[in-house]
Amino acid sequence: MQVELPSSFLWGAALSSYQCEGGNFNTDWSRWEKDHGLEPAAGACGHYRLYSEDFRFARELKLNSLRFSTEWARICPSAGVVSEKELTHYRQEAGVLRGYNIEPLITLHHFTNPLWFMNKEGWLRRENIDFFLFYLQKTVTALKGEVSWWLIFNEPLVYIYNGYLRGIWPPGKKSLSDARKALNNILAAYLTGFQEIKRIYRPDSTGVKISLAKHFRVFRGCPGINFGLNSLSAFLRNRCFNQRLIDYLEQKHSLDFIGINYYCKEYTRFRGVFGGQCRHRHHAERKNYLGWDVYPEGFYQVLKSAGKSGRPLIVTENGTAETNNQLYEDFLADHLKSLGRAVQGGVDVRGYFWWSLLDNFEWDRGFKCRFGLLEVDYATLTRKIRPFAHTYAKICRENRIEWKETK
C-alpha cells in the first residue's frame, strides 16, 4: 500500500532551545538541576553556536521544515527588558532555514521559564501573564518576516502535571489548586497570545498558522483483577488529558491546526479518580530505551480521533530513544504506516516532525536518551547521521509512505 502526500506536506524534525542550545543558565530548569543534583544541561549540544551546521544536516536529510523554540530567558533577561541581540540571533536562525527552503515552525514556550519570572511566582499569578505576552509580542514582531507557523506552548498539560502535581519538574509543586491556577493562567496567555499574533500579522493574517503542541497518549486499563476499575481510570485520563483541552480551544476558535505529539501507550491503575501508572510486567508490546510501550496502532487511533474535529493536523513530535538502528527503523516504519493509513482514511494531516533532529538533553533523564536523526558525540560536539535517518530522508524526498498490509 502507499499514499502520496501533497507537495505542501511538511517533513521535518523538532528540537527545543533548552535541550540543545547550551548556556541557558538564566532559567528555572538550570536552578532545578543544581538544587536536585541532576545531570546539568550545561553546554548541551552547543546548538546555539552550531545551528548553521545542524540546519545544513537538515537540508542534507531533505527536510522541508524544522521546529525549534526560542528561549524566553535569553530574549528577556529580566522583567520588561528585551535583548535585540538575541532577537537578531533567532531571526538569523529562521533566515538560514529559509535560505535552505526549510520552513521554520517556532515554539515560544517549551517547558522552561526565566528565573526572574519564577521568582515572581511564575504562572501562579494572573498579572505575570503580561510578562509572557511581552516576550511573545517582541519575538513574533521580530521574526514575522521569516516565520508563518507558531506554537505558543509545548505540552502545557505535561508541564502542569510534572511541575505542579507530581512535583518532579520545576517548580516542584504538588498541589491541585496550584496546578489549576497555573493551567488557567497558561490558557489565558495562550488565548490572548493567539489574538496578539494575528494582530501582529495584520492586514495579512491569513497566512499565519497558530496552535500548540499537545501531547497525546493512549491509556489502557492495567490487566488483572481490577481491570474494570483500571479501565475507568484509563477512560477518565483519556477524556481529561487527550480531549478536553482541544475541545476548549476549539470552542474559543483559537486553533488553526492541531499539533500532535505522540510517543506511546500507558497502562493505568485505579488509584484516586485519575489512577496511577501501572507497572505490570507482562505487557506484550516492545518497550523503548526509556521503558515506554511502543504502540504504533495508538498513533493511528489518535490521528483518527483528532481528525474528527475537521481541523488540519500536524504531527509536531513523534520519535523514540533506542540503542540500535533497527529499533529506530522499526519505530519509524510502523508509525509512518499509521500515518499513511490515517491519511488514506481521509484524515487531513499536513506534516510530520521527528523528535528530534539531534540527540539532546532529556530533562530529568539527562543525556543518555538518544532521540536524534543525528548522533551527537558530547565530548567533541560532532554530529553523525544515524543510518535510519537516511531511510527518513528517502521518504521525505519521495513524499510518499509505503507499507505492507499484514493480515
Residue 268 makes contact with ligand BGC by CB under 6 A:
no
- Residue among 209 and 215 whose Cβ is closer to ligand BGC: 215
Residue 242 makes contact with ligand BGC by CB under 6 A:
no
Residue 70 makes contact with ligand BGC by CB under 6 A:
no
- Residue among 131 and 355 whose Cβ is closer to ligand BGC: 355
- Residue among 16 and 230 whose Cβ is closer to ligand BGC: 16
Kindly state the number of chain residues that form the binding site for ligand BGC, as judged by CB under 6 A. Answer: 10
Stretch that binds ligand BGC, among 40-48, 152-160, 241-249, 333-341 (CB under 6 A): 152-160
User: Among 26, 211, 231, 261, which residue sits at the site for ligand BGC (rule: CB under 6 A)?
Assistant: 261
Residue 21 makes contact with ligand BGC by CB under 6 A:
no
Residue 293 makes contact with ligand BGC by CB under 6 A:
no
User: Among 215, 220, 335, 337, which residue sits at the site for ligand BGC (rule: CB under 6 A)?
Assistant: 215
User: Among 17, 30, 113, 154, which residue sits at the site for ligand BGC (rule: CB under 6 A)?
Assistant: 154
Residue 355 makes contact with ligand BGC by CB under 6 A:
yes
- Residue among 21 and 155 whose Cβ is closer to ligand BGC: 155
User: Per residue, what are the HEC states of the chain?
Assistant: CEEECCCCCEEEEECCHHHHCCCCCCEHHHHHHHHHCCCCCCCCCCHHHHHHHHHHHHHHCCCCEEEEECCHHHHCCCCCCCCHHHHHHHHHHHHHHHHCCCEEEEECCCCCCEHHHHHCCHHHCHHHHHHHHHHHHHHHHHHCCCCCEEEEEECHHHHHHHHHHCCCCCCCCCCHHHHHHHHHHHHHHHHHHHHHHHHHHCCCCCCCEEEEEEEEEEEEECCCCCHHHHHHHHHHHHHHHHHHHHHHHHHCCCCCCEEEEEEEEEEEECCCCCCEECCCCCCCCCECCCCCECCHHHHHHHHHHHHCCCCCEEEEEECCCCCCHHHHHHHHHHHHHHHHHHHHCCCCEEEEEEECCECCCCHHHCCCCCCCCEEEECCCCEEEECHHHHHHHHHHHHCEEECCCCC
Residue 69 makes contact with ligand BGC by CB under 6 A:
no
Stretch that binds ligand BGC, among 150-158, 193-201, 249-257, 279-287 (CB under 6 A): 150-158
- Residue among 109 and 215 whose Cβ is closer to ligand BGC: 215
Angle, CA of 68, 44 and 106, to the nearest 5° = 10
Residue 71 makes contact with ligand BGC by CB under 6 A:
no
User: Among 71, 146, 155, 359, which residue sits at the site for ligand BGC (rule: CB under 6 A)?
Assistant: 155
Report in angstroms how near the CB of residue 3 gets to ligand BGC at its nearest.
Answer: 26
Residue 362 makes contact with ligand BGC by CB under 6 A:
yes
Residue 16 makes contact with ligand BGC by CB under 6 A:
yes
Stretch that binds ligand BGC, among 32-40, 71-79, 151-159, 275-283 (CB under 6 A): 151-159
CA dihedral over 89, 313, 220, 183, signed as positive or negative:
positive
Using CB under 6 A as the criterion, which residues of the chain lie in contact with ligand BGC when the complex forms?
Answer: 16, 19, 154-155, 158, 215, 261, 317, 355, 362
